[in-house]
Structure formats: C-alpha cells, structure tokens
Amino acid sequence: MRAARCEPTDTTPIWIMRQAGRYLPEYMSVRSQVTFLDLCKRPELAAEVTLTAREVLDVDAAILFADLLPILEPMGFHLEYQQGEGPVIHNPIIGADDIDRVRPVDRIEDLGYVFEAVRLIRSQLPADIPLLGFGGAPFTLASYAIEGGGSRNYAKTKTLMFGDEGAWKSLMERLVESLGKYLNAQIDAGCQAVQIFDSWAGCLAPADYRRYVMPYTKKLIDAIPDDVPVINFLTGNPALLPAQRDAGGQVIGLDWRVDLADAWETVGYDRAVQGNLDPMSLYADLDTLRARAKAVLDGAAGRPGHIFNLGHGVLPDFSPDKVKALVQMVHELGVRK
C-alpha cells in the first residue's frame, strides 16, 4: 500500500497476477473437487485458494480469487466455462437492438458470494498484508459480451463501436454503473485496493481508445474513493500508455512490451507503476531469471512507487519453485540501500 502511494518501502513489494492458479498443487487439490464457476461462487473455497497462494509464495499482497465475467450474469448474459474453450456467453450482443436487454446490476447482493469471500479472506489474512479486489474494465467486458468468448480481431466489437456510437455509449454506461457498484462493494467488504483489468484494449488504436474507451474507464476509476488505490492495468499495446495514464489510477500496470524506465517517465513520477517482467522469463534457468528480475528493478532505479509483478499472468505449466524463487529474488535485490 505504501508503494501504491509512492511512499518509501524497505524493499520492492511483489505480487503475481493469477498467483492462485493451475500451476500450484495447492490450488489444484481444491479445483479438482469443483467446476471453475463453482470455485468462484463458493466463498469458503475462493478464500482458501486466495490465502494459500499468498502464504505459499510469500508475496506482499493477496488478490481475491474470482473472475472477470460473473458480473455479466445478473446483467442478463448466460455464461458457461467450457472445458478447453474457456468462458462462453450463449446469448451475446448481436446488434444495437440487443443493448436494451442488457440491464445494469440492480441488486449487488446477487454477487454476494464475492463479498462473502472478501470478508472471509480479510478475517484470516495477516493485518499487514493488503487484499486486492478486481474487476474487468468496461471495454474488456463489452468485448466478451459482444464476441461471446475469445477473439483474434474483435471484429464484432469494433463493428458495433464504430457503427453505432449511441448504442456503444449505452452499453458502456451500463457496464460502468454495474462495475462501480461491484468494486465499491468489494472495498466495503474489506479490499484495500482494486485492480481494473483491460486485458483486450490492446487491440485499439490510440485515437479509438481515447474516443470509445477512455471516458468510461475514467468514469469507473473516478467512482472509487480517493483513498483506495486503483491499479489501472492494460496489456498488448505500449502506444496506449499516455491514454492509459490519462484514464486514471494511482498505479499504472505495465505489461512487458515496454521498458519500465521509459514507461515511468511517460506516466510521471507522481504515480506508481506495477510490473513488468515478461512471464516467459519463468521458463529460464535461475541465473537468467535473476538477471531479468534485476533489469526490471534497475529500470525502477530505487524510486518509491514500484510494485514488482509479471507483465501478465502466471501460466498453468510454470514451476511453483520458480515463482517462489522470483519472489525471494525481488525481496533480496529490491532492498533499499
């Protein structure tokens, strides 16, 4: 939390995106008993995998185990996680006329399993370890709702976005309203900071991001209390960094496609940055991994406000021992002189 506020720390703090995941045996022992969606919706299990990952890795923050997409269910979408296919929405938005059936979340209690998990985690987490909540950014959720699943070119999303700006605005406003309620309810339940994932915005040109996306991301970030740090994470397109900065967030999450030193200069030193080791570095031997972690730390130059993370999430076949070793390396190499 101190790093998120650009305050000095004894060493560089670190947490890992998807730190509770299939690469951990402790996670798989729980996951093998239930479906992915059941794991998300059973607070005691979501709490268990959140807490275990934090403890096993010795990272400096826990992040709530949940998923970006279940918020779409109370908005009228039929969501399923298919083996080998990932999330599938069976009634996606086909055209502008479908926007009318998308309803903002009225009863935030419909997502109560998330907030109960937050309360359970916070009650068992050490007092000095923050709990991070999270949600999808409006563009990423809109893309899922339109594409019905993954996409390579986001053609359906861009067709609606470019072709009917009024319909796009209506959809994005409904998402912002719902996400604002959702993130604030996570905070009320016990999260000390939140990360907003714009995992798919990298497909956009800078001008299109500024016109069709940034106003809504900014509105969502502005809905979070000023004393709760927001990590604004966008991946896939370094050209969007100036607009990502302008969208807001006390912390700007960086992926590995940009040099950290250059990125922080662009963001401005009055804001914190998070990142940005290439996740594939975890396939390297320990000496190479250490050198690559040190290069990221050198880019931060010991400046207050750096949170070490991967440039994206852990992959299922990563070695847990390598992830643990990375955490130890960062704590050792990041010590303030």
Q: What is the widest separation between alpha-carbon atoms in the chain?
A: 60
Burial (CB < 10 A; 0-12, 13-18, 19+), residue 197, is: buried
CA-wise closest residue to 327 among 9, 56, 24: 56
Q: What is the mean pLDDT of residues 303-322?
A: 97
Cα separation, 207 vs 209, in Å, equals 5
Indicate if the pLDDT at residue 19 is higher than 90: yes
Contacts of 132 (CB under 8 A, 6+ apart): 15, 61, 62, 63, 64, 191, 192, 193, 194, 195, 231
Can you read off the two tokens belonging to residue 116?
């109960």
The reported pLDDT for the residue numbered 228 is: 98
Can you read off the two tokens belonging to residue 123?
């009650």
CA-wise closest residue to 125 among 43, 195, 189, 55: 55
67 catalytic per annotation: yes
The reported pLDDT for the residue numbered 83 is: 77
Which one of the listed residues 60, 67, 198, 255 is annotated catalytic? Answer: 67
31 catalytic per annotation: yes
Which one of the listed residues 23, 27, 144, 182 is annotated catalytic? Answer: 144
Which one of the listed residues 23, 31, 154, 290 is annotated catalytic? Answer: 31
CA-wise closest residue to 333 among 302, 288, 304: 302
Contacts of 143 (CB under 8 A, 6+ apart): 151, 154, 157, 200
CB count within 10 Å of CB 337 equals: 3
Band (pLDDT 50/70/90 cuts) for residue 15 is very high
Band (pLDDT 50/70/90 cuts) for residue 82 is confident
Burial (CB < 10 A; 0-12, 13-18, 19+), residue 261, is: middle
Cα separation, 319 vs 84, in Å, equals 21
pTM of the model: 0.97
113 catalytic per annotation: no
Helix (H, G, I), strand (E, B) or coil at 307: strand
> Is-contact 297 13, C-beta < 8 A?
no
Could you tell me the end-to-end alpha-carbon distance of the chain, in angstroms, rounded to an integer? 20
18 catalytic per annotation: yes
pLDDT in tens, 84-126: 668 999 999 999 999 999 999 999 999 999 999 999 999 999 9
182 catalytic per annotation: no
Which one of the listed residues 18, 54, 122, 271 is annotated catalytic? Answer: 18
pLDDT in tens, 158-187: 999 999 999 999 999 999 999 999 999 999
CB count within 10 Å of CB 60 equals: 22
